[in-house]
Structure 1
Amino acid sequence: MPHYLIFFNQQWVSDHDEAWYQTRVEPSTAVVRDMREQGVLVFAGGLEEDLAQAASADDTSGTPVVTDGPFTTTEQWLGGMTIIDVPDDETARRWAGRVAEGCGWPQEVRRFKGGSMRAAAMGE
């Protein structure tokens, strides 16, 4: 089956107080629990928001260079992601809708390209 990435950029999350975020814990974890129970969950998690904790690796000069911080300064950055293994786009979109509902902010969903790297990484 194809694998899909459901993700959000941190800037898509509206400003809310801590009490509001607490209201999202149960619905968002319920979606992940449902994914696990239905056997479609590969991975789910949020990323650290502090970009100072990021590092970048670049080999375009022919020598790998690893530096502190994000690769480029940008107005948007990845906030979290879920990887699912489902049969088709329609099913992936339904799960993305459930994740958006559970979290309370928009999500984007995209299919991973097929290929040997993906198959090897997934043990296929």
Structure 2
Amino acid sequence: MTQYLISFEKGAMDHIPAEDFPDVGRAAHAVIQETKRAGVYVYGGGLSYDDGDVEWGVVATDGTVADGPGPGGKELIGGLTIVDVPTREAALEWAAKIAVACRCAQDVRKFGFDPER
């Protein structure tokens, strides 16, 4: 089996009206429960940026720490799910379900193989 990161960018759900978020949350949780029942769930969650507390940052190669995004305004992950599935097609199928539930496009990337994993 191979692990895939399914993710979406911070702000990808900004188009959703506030009153729809409970429905989106229920739909997203239902898909995650489905991944768990299927035995492919590894990890997942949403990332917080707007709670007023700086709980994230970038650590440079010299060890200095900066709050916020790194140089060049790199894209930030808004949420992620990791699945362990037999094929890329299976990962894309799960990503499609998550995209529908979250009402936003999903990025799918294969984790590099680590023989000691």
Query: What is the TM-score of this pair, normalised by structure 2?
Result: 0.87
Residue pair 1:41, 1:84 contacting (<8 A) in 2 also: yes
Q: Which aligned pairs between 1:1-124 and structure 2 lie closer than 5 A?
A: 1-50=1-50, 52-59=54-61, 63-72=62-71, 74=73, 76-116=75-115, 119=117
Residues of 1 paired with 2:115 and 2:70: CA distance? 27
C-alpha displacement of 1:64: 1.8
Tell me which stretches of 4 or more aligned residues in structure 1 moved more than 4 Å.
none
Amino acid at match of 2:70: F
Query: What is the TM-score of this pair, normalised by structure 1?
Result: 0.82
C-alpha displacement of 1:40: 0.4
Residues of 1 paired with 2:71 and 2:20: CA distance? 32
Q: Which has the higher helix share?
A: 1
Amino acid at match of 1:29: H
Gaps of 5+ in 2: none
Residues of 2 paired with 1:66 and 1:78: CA distance? 19
Kindly tell me: are residues 17 and 75 of structure 1, through their superposed partners in 2, closer, same or farther at Cα, counting changes over 3 Å? Answer: farther
Give the root-mean-square deviation of aligned CA atoms. 1.9
C-alpha displacement of 1:20: 1.0
Amino acid at match of 1:77: L
Gaps of 5+ in 1: 120-124
| Identity rate, percent | 30
Amino acid at match of 2:27: P
